[in-house]
Structure formats: C-alpha cells, structure tokens
C-alpha cells in the first residue's frame, strides 16, 4: 500500500507541477491506497482526509476539464488568506479534540495535516498559487508525522520530503505560468 501510494504520489506531484489535468487520475488512485494505509495505522484524521481527497480528486478532474472555461492561475485575496489561516487553526483545534478520543498516535499532528491539506487541495482545484505555500508547510509536517509513527512509514516520509521540494518547484512553475497568462 505504502509503496504504491508513494509512486502514484510522485507521478501526481510531477503532473500537477506541470499544470496537467491528468494529475487528478493519479491523485484519485493514490487516495484509495492512502485510505487503506491510514486505516491500518489508525490515522483516523487521514482516513477522513483521504476520503474527502478522493471526492475532491473527482471535482478537480472535472474543474480542470478542457471543456470548461479555463481556470487561470491566480493569487488568493487577502480575505481568502485570512479565511484559510483561520480555517486551518480552528479546524486543527476542533479535530484534535475528536482524535484525542481515539487511538490515533499523533492527534494534534494528524489534525493539522488533515485540515491544512484539505485547504491546500481546495486552492489547488481553484488554481491559486498560494496552495504551494500551504502544501510546503503541510508536507514538512506530514514527513514528521510519518517519521514519528510507531510503525514508521519510511516511503511516505520520503515522499513528503520530495513533495516539500516539489511544492517549491510548483510554486515557481505556476508563478511563471501565471505571469505568462497576465501578459496575454
């Protein structure tokens, strides 16, 4: 499960960095494998998160359709930035309360990565360049989470290290694309 999810995640990460719609196909399959992996490891926040991801993967695939009006890459407004920070902080606090009542080995970390990744996915679907800042922070904390698990998830730990660097590359690639869109 872990190795397959890692390979799918690498392919998806490269495709989304290149702003390709096909990234969502790999994203959907990766979520299926991560739901199973997270269930086995009692990461209930991740199970919920990856289940939402699965749905968001289908939405992203439809939103990025060539048949729909093209969504240009843009920036989140200041109001959107305040909203996503508040959602991440408040959502983390609320989810942490629920996860503490389970056998989740890392409830606070699991809560943060769950909420921030949902927010990042939303902004990725909307093609807001801010998604890559959120993803970078999220990937660092996911790497910590997978490293700290009682049964370390080495491949997913390494994947999130790679993704952190890919988030930086994605930010600069999307920035280049965004500037090209503004020029036309």
Say what the pTM is. 0.84
Q: Quick check: 68 pLDDT over 60? A: no
What radius of gyration do the chain's Cα atoms show?
16
Rounded percentage of the chain residues whose pLDDT exceeds 70: 97
pLDDT tens column, 86-128: 999 999 999 999 999 988 889 999 899 989 999 999 999 999 9
Handedness of CA 98, 100, 103, 104 (dihedral sign): positive
Query: Binning pLDDT at 50, 70 and 90, where does residue 42 land?
Result: confident
DSSP SS3 for 106: coil
Give the domain ranges of the chain.
2-183
Residues sharing a CB contact under 8 Å with residue 62, sequence separation 6 or more, in sequence order: 68
The mean predicted confidence, pLDDT, of the chain is 90
Phi first, then psi, for residue 74 (nearest 5°) are -145, -175
What pLDDT sits at residue 67? 62
What pLDDT sits at residue 153? 82
- Are 27 and 176 within 8 A, CB to CB? no
């Amino acid at each position: 499960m872990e190795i397959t999810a890692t390979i799918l995640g690498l392919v998806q990460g490269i495709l989304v960095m290149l702003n390709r719609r096909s990234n969502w196909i790999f994203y959907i399959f990766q979520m299926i494998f991560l739901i199973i992996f997270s269930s086995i490891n009692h990461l209930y926040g991740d199970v919920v998160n990856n289940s939402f991801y699965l749905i968001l993967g289908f939405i992203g695939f439809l939103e990025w359709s060539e048949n729909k009006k093209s969504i240009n890459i843009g920036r989140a407004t200041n109001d959107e930035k305040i909203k996503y920070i508040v959602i991440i902080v408040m959502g983390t606090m609320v989810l942490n309360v629920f996860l503490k009542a389970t056998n989740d080995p890392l409830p606070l970390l699991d809560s943060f990565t769950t909420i921030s990744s949902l927010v990042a996915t939303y902004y990725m679907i909307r093609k807001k360049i801010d998604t890559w800042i959120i993803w970078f922070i999220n990937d660092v904390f996911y790497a910590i989470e997978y490293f700290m698990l009682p049964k370390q998830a080495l491949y997913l730990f390494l994947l999130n290290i790679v993704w952190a660097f890919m988030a930086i590359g994605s930010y600069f690639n999307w920035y280049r694309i965004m500037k090209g869109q503004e020029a036309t």
